[in-house]
């Protein structure tokens, strides 16, 4: 059972490719302004491609998304606790430019760099003005986690932001035949501090592999 905002949902599967494509299409429909039809798919793609938390995606800085060779490098600022003291770390994810979902993020980045280079954040806070049907971007404020939540749940009613993180954990775990290797891979991919946290992803989505490995040892 996964805890989510406003209650619990009992969903054992993660987001599949077909479901994600439907979410992308739904995120463009019925928007008050064309900007949201460009931004919302980019938000979803960053969540799907990186498995980062909603707050980390919301606060990515515009200058921390750059092309580097065949990749789009996205640097996230991550809050960690060391000896009960909070510290801020930076973690960079390299997204292949050939991936169609990376292209969606890249298209949005190009728009921001051309139209709003003064914005500090990739996804700035916005205000829709009904009077002239326009969008005002706040150059110094990032998108809120609540808005990221709204983007996700409106695109897929059976989805929530952290489900993307679980989806990435599942994809990584299932790509390794060795359970121990999968454990370290999930820890590294999701920038986890503790191995037991990584184990929860491996246990939830690779039970068959774990049981098979245990049986072979007996």
Domain spans in the chain, listed from the N-terminal domain onward: 13-158, 175-218
Instruction: In whole angstroms, give the CA distance from residue 56 to residue 58.
Output: 5
Nearest to 96 by CA among 160, 45, 29: 45
Q: In what order do the strands lie in the sheet with 85-96?
A: 65-68, 71-82, 85-96
User: Rounded to the nearest 5°, which phi and psi values hold at 71?
Assistant: -130, 155
* Range 173-186 burial, b when 16+ CB lie within 10 A, else e: beebeebeebbebb
Note the CATH architecture for domain 13-158. Answer: Orthogonal Bundle (1.10)
Residue 83 per-residue DSSP state: T
Q: Which residue has the tokens 């989505």?
A: 205
Q: Helix (H, G, I), strand (E, B), or coil: what is residue 186? A: helix
Q: From first to last of the 218 residues of the chain, give the pLDDT tens digit.
A: 343 444 345 677 889 999 999 999 999 999 989 999 999 999 999 999 999 999 999 999 999 999 999 999 999 988 776 667 778 889 999 999 999 999 999 999 999 999 999 999 999 999 998 888 899 999 999 999 999 999 999 999 899 999 999 999 989 988 886 778 888 999 999 999 889 989 888 876 655 454 445 445 44
In this prediction, residue 184 carries a pLDDT of 92
Instruction: In whole angstroms, give the CA distance from residue 183 to residue 193.
Output: 12
- Kindly report the pTM of this predicted structure: 0.87
C-beta atoms surrounding 206 within 10 Å? 22
Instruction: In whole angstroms, give the CA distance from residue 73 to residue 33.
Output: 28
The radius of gyration of the chain's CA atoms, rounded to the nearest angstrom, is 18
Instruction: In whole angstroms, give the CA distance from residue 197 to residue 62.
Output: 30
């Amino acid at each position: 059972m996964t805890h989510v905002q406003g209650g619990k949902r009992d969903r054992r599967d993660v987001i599949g490719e077909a479901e994600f494509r439907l979410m992308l299409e739904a995120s463009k429909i019925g928007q008050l302004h064309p900007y949201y039809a460009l931004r919302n798919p980019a938000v979803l793609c960053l969540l799907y491609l990186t498995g980062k938390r909603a707050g980390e995606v919301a606060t990515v800085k515009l200058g921390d998304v750059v092309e580097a060779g065949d990749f789009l490098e996205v640097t996230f600022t991550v809050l960690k606790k060391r000896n009960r003291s909070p510290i801020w770390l930076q973690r960079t994810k390299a997204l292949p430019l050939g991936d169609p979902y990376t292209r969606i993020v890249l298209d949005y980045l190009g728009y921001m760099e051309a139209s709003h280079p003064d914005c500090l954040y990739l996804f700035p806070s916005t205000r829709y003005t009904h009077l002239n049907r326009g969008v005002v971007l706040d150059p110094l404020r990032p998108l809120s986690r609540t808005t990221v939540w709204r983007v996700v749940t409106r695109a897929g009613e059976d989805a929530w932001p952290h489900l993307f993180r679980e989806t990435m954990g599942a994809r990584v775990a299932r790509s390794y035949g060795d359970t121990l290797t999968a454990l370290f891979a999930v820890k590294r991919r999701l920038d986890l501090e503790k191995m037991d946290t990584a184990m929860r992803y491996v246990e939830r989505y690779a039970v068959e592999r774990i049981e098979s490995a245990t049986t072979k040892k007996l």
